Amino acid sequence: MNFYMGYNTRPSWTDHYSSAPDLNNPLICKTMPRDRFAAILSHLHCNDNTQMPSNCKDKLYKIRPFIDALNKKFQECYYGTRELSVDESMIKFKGRSVLKQYLPAKPIKRGYKLWCLADQRGFIKNFIIYQGKNDEIAVKFADYSLGEKVVLQLTEKEWGKQKVIYYDNFFTSIALLEKLKTEGTYACGTRSNRKGIPNNLVADSKLKHGQYDYRFSNMNIAYYKWKDNKIVHLASNFHGNDEATVSRKEKNGSKSTITCPKAIKDYNSYMGGVDTADRLRALYCADRKFPKWWHRLFWGILDITFVNAYIIHGLIMEKTPVKEFRRSIAQGLMSMKDIKDNKKKRLSKDPVLSPGPSKRRKTGFSTLKDVRLGNRGVHWPTFVPNRGRCEVCSMKKVQSKPHSKCSHCNTFLCINEKKNCFTEYHYVNV
């Protein structure tokens, strides 16, 4: 229902249950009563508060099992592209919380800050919620700075897999590049004039537009200085002295090509994974006020889970727009209830759903196509004492009332030595 409210919005979730014709949402009202929805929302918990230690330093204790379970599942279900990127992400929040951060350069300036590891398609493989400067991130990496610790903790499970990690100036350091190289992981990031940059690079004033200079350390860590509109510093533990070209737009509107190190072109090509995830998440997120500070985090992380599911679905099945996929998810989840027990009640109370005597179905199946054809691992034939009309036979104008039905769709289907309507129902695109 919250996924549904993400693309069918109202000023407040209570407006979906309003009696006003311009606010009322019939599908929400038929799925769950308002008071039950409010009760579930108010009693929603991810952890047992009674077991919370008196000296607990984890500010995210209330949702810690939820965070850990998702991070584990994200790693298990998807390998990801070879190129990964580390960057900041924000979940909008304007209330009172010690976790709230202010990032003026971000589209979402106030809210919860997340450190994310994403692949090129926008799949978030791992994330850390920032708890402030006193946050004990990765105690085993205590000798490193905050940015270094974030990268090491996020990428630890990717070490030794020949992955390529890209990150921006906040994280880049020579010590981090050397550490990742010893762990069998490639890395590249922009740098400013920090400690460790070689002193014998060409002076900024002597570089013309498109020119660059570079040096290599004893561990083959490359340092680049390139002149674009401004001086750009970059460091890498796997690039060489290869040259590439990039396109630039002149003041008169024409395009020109200038040279640059290949590391610069690769960085511009592969650094946008987290930004892609943020763009997909922002389209139809559950953006509304919540009475508890951690609810905004809960629904924001659930939207990240939705984006990850959308990316995997696009690789396995035919790629669809985000809105259509969200509709399929929402309606599929909302239809997973006991249809048999509620069908007579709805028909008897709603005159629209019971216009007259029932007629044999001729045009389509009762279950949504996305529910019927998707999630094939959860559709299992079951046998019950009572009989029901087979939907496939009904479409063919054949009278058949079997004891067998689908456990997920809750529809009767023939399964015997003469015919197998179960397979036809779940594999034929009708």
Residue ranges of the domains in the chain? Answer: 82-275, 354-427
Instruction: DSSP letter for 157, please.
Output: G
Reported as a pLDDT band with limits 50, 70 and 90, residue 417 is confident
Number of Cβ atoms within 10 Å of the Cβ of 84: 26
pLDDT at 254: 86
pLDDT at 377: 66
Of residues 304 and 360, the one with the higher pLDDT is 304
Does pLDDT of 278 surpass 60? yes
pLDDT at 167: 94
Number of Cβ atoms within 10 Å of the Cβ of 200: 6
pLDDT digits (tens, 9 = 90+) for 381-398: 899 999 999 989 988 888
Mean pLDDT of the chain: 86
Evaluated on CA atoms 368, 373, 378, 381, the torsion sign reads: positive
Q: How far apart, in Å, do the first and last CA atoms of the chain sit? A: 26
CA distance 392 to 163: 49
Of residues 180 and 138, the one with the higher pLDDT is 180
Does pLDDT of 207 surpass 50? yes
pLDDT at 66: 94
| 138-142, 337-341, 384-388, 401-405: range with lowest mean pLDDT | 337-341
